[in-house]
Each structure stands twice: as C-alpha cells, then as structure tokens.
Amino acid sequence: IKQFLLLSKRRTALITQCLKDSETSKPNFMPRLYINRRLAMEHRDNPALDPSCKNAVFTQVLSLLEGSQLRCLVLCRWPLRYDQWWECKFIAEGIIDQGGGFRDSLADMSEELCPSSADTPVPLPFFVRTSNQGNGTGEARDMYVPNPSCKDFPKYEWIGQIMGAALRGKEFLVLALPGFVWKQLTGEEVSWSKDFPAVDSVLVKLLEVMEVMDKDTFEFKFGNELTYTTVLSDQRMVELIPNGSSTVVCYEDRKEFIRLVQKARLEESKEQIMAMQAGLLKVVPQAVLDLLTWQELEKKVCGDPEVTVDALKKLTRFEDFEPLDTRVQYFWEALNNFTNEDRSRFLRFVTGRSRLPARIYIYPDKMGSETTDALPESSTCSSTLFLPNYATAKVCEEKLRYAAYNCVAIDTDMSPWE
C-alpha cells in the first residue's frame, strides 16, 4: 500500500492535515531544566570514567523531566507554533533562554548520540559506529547504527519521541543514521545488496565473492577456519547455529552460511529500531509515516546536512550595513572558504542549530566601523551574529572559524551565578 500512497498527488496536503488533526493543545507551563554542560564535556572526553553516563546532557535532560514528572510533555502532539519544549539554565553560564539554550541542548544531545568526529569516543551506549566508519571504507563513513548490545528500550523509545517532536516542529535532532535504519522506521523494505553496503561494505563484497568462488579457491582462502559465526556492529561475535563457533563451513554449505550471516546482520538492531519507532508513533500518527519516504523522514527530523553558501544567502539578513560594506564582502568570502563542517559549526554558533533551514540576522558589532581583531559574538535565542569590522577577508575567516569551533559556552546574557 505504501508504494501507492507515495505516488499520491495529495500526499503533502495529507501529511499536513494528519499532523493538524492530531494536534493537542500546548502545555500550561514550560519545564525549566538546570543543565551542567561542564560535567557533560568532561564525560564526553572520557566516557569510561562514568559508565552510567549520568553527566551527559541527554541523561540530565531525561532525568530532570522524569524527576519532575514532566516526561509526559514530550508525548504531546503540540501545535507547530509551540517550538520550545523546555527552558534551559546552563549552570555557570549566563543565559536567558528564549530558544537558543533549548536548541543548544538538542544539539548537545545529537552530538552525544552520534558524534560528528570519528576521532572522539561515543559518550552514550545507544548507537555504535558502522563498520564502514571503523574501516574507513565504502559509502557513508560517518554513520551510526543502534547498538545491538544495548537493551535499554525505554531510552530508545524516548529518542523516538524526540524525533517525532522534531518532525512536528521546527527543531532538529541530528542523527547520522544510514538509510538502512530510516527505511525500517518508515516501514519500507530493506535490502542486503542495496542498503547494507552503507553499514558494512567489506562484508557485502566478501559474501558476493564467496558465493561465486570455486571449491579450490574457497578451501585455499578459508580452509578449516571459517565457522558459523559473524561479528555484529558492536564488535560482538555471535553464533549463527547451535555450536556454530566449533562448526566448520563446508564449500557445499556456503550459500546457507551467507544467508544466515545476512539475516543476523540485517536484524542485529531490530529490537532497538522497533523501540525508536514505537516512540515516534506516540508523537506522529502512523498515517504520516505511511506517507513519507525514508529520505523525507530523515530531513524532517535532522534537517539538511548540506549547508551551502547559496542556501545561507537566502536565509541571511544584514541589518544596519551599507550596501557596499566590506564586512559583508569579507563575510561571504570567509564562508565560501569554509568546509561544509565549518559552515555547520558556524550555523550552530549563531543559531543553536547545526543544519538548515535556520534564519540568520547579522548586525555590526559594538565597535561599529572601527577595525578590530575581536571575536564575533552571537545570540542563539535571536539567531543573531554581531560582526566586527576586520582588516581583511583572511582575518574574518580565521575569527569566524575560531568562534565556531571554540566559543560554545553562553556567557553574555546575564551573570552566570544568577
């Protein structure tokens, strides 16, 4: 049925109507959460020191909502205009949260669930790096899959609820998951040959070669060393049949071995994905998932990963600048020289979001037209950048990049001890 629904010309209107019809009224109050991001940063640097992950922003948010009996709030199917689900008070950071702190908390949670850097440890146990990311091979080398070893299904369900709230609203939960996962969330059929190369391309290729090789080649390559086992994405070896680790695969049985490996790997995260889908369906009607492709679901939950200069130009407004002001020219030269990752970091520095769409408002900084080497300042609550007047485009590029990567704390709204 889904393939026919996706062909409907009224699909977009039906999605909008389904979301509208399933709305609930907004809550009477907004929960205020006190988050310690300094402790979260320490945990992110060395997760092994705290296996409970209690200091992660993700855990702090969840425990505070549960502790104040406010977790039910994320189950609500709020109107689109209600775009802030909780208020953040970052301990030892000065902030009056009018949306920027809230967006920052979502960005922190995203980064903890699926870190954007391959060089950092994964601070939470819910997702693991794909084999492609570990091997540096194949497509989609920056992706994660649900951890087959993690059986904390209520947490996966809560992740699904936040995904659903992002779909209904204007905010994003950026999860770097392959189509293999998104397809299962929307109920689309997954294929070993089409979808699993994004998870473990080496294994897909190995099984393809094994299926067509002759007996002499098979025995030369594997001898008596190939047993009925396979390694999952969490690096755990599992037996494919009873006593599989001590049962040698014969050439004549290689196709059955291949089938068993494919089944085990395709279903390795099945329970975790089902829990995420259950959470998603508490916030989004089944009809909406039936009407969305997996690519559309990903974009609605995560935003657009491509932060292009052309897209930024459409979303950026300069206020109180002269038409030929060099600051405007230097700004665009800098962003043209940025990588996509640089622009994503810059976007988060200004708006609290790491993906588009997000509007940006740019004003001259307090020094006015006077040339300075000061770092730029931003207000994520109003998505505003205060741009200094730099001597050259190169200086502008260096200062913007430094701020994007290093100026995370919010300390200009108020005294951090208030």
Query: Per the structure block, which two tokens stand in for 159?
Result: 């992740």
Per-residue CA distances from 377 to 218, 327, 332, 404 (Å): 63, 15, 17, 10
Cα separation of 302 and 332, whole Å?
25
Gap between the Cα atoms of 192 and 265, Å rounded: 9
DSSP one-letter code for 390: -
Query: Residue ranges of the alpha helices (H) in 79-178?
Result: 100-113, 131-135, 153-168
CA atoms within 13 A on the CB side of 343: 25
Alpha-carbon distance of 135 to 201, in angstroms, equals 10
Residue in 53, 150, 381, 396 annotated catalytic: 381
The two three-digit tokens of residue 345, written as one number: 């970091």
Identity of the residue numbered 331: F
The answer to whether residue 381 is catalytic is yes
Angle in degrees, 0-180, between the axes of helices 197-212 and 179-186, rounded to the nearest 10? 100
Cα–Cα distance for residue pair 148/279, rounded to 1 Å: 18
Type of residue at 175: L
Q: In 100-226, which ranges are continuous DSSP H helix? A: 100-113, 131-135, 153-168, 179-186, 192-195, 197-212, 215-222
Q: Is the dihedral of CA 359, 365, 370, 372 positive or negative?
A: negative
CA-angle at 209, arms to 205 and 213, nearest 5°: 175
Computed on alpha carbons and rounded to an integer, the radius of gyration of the chain in Å comes to 24
Strands 32-35 and 144-146 come out as unpaired
Angle at 357 between CA 355 and CA 360, to 5 degrees: 95
3-state secondary structure of 112: helix
Q: Which run of H or E residues covers position 32?
A: strand 32-35
- Per the CB < 8 A criterion, the answer to whether 305 and 355 are in contact is yes
> What is the set of active-site residues?
381
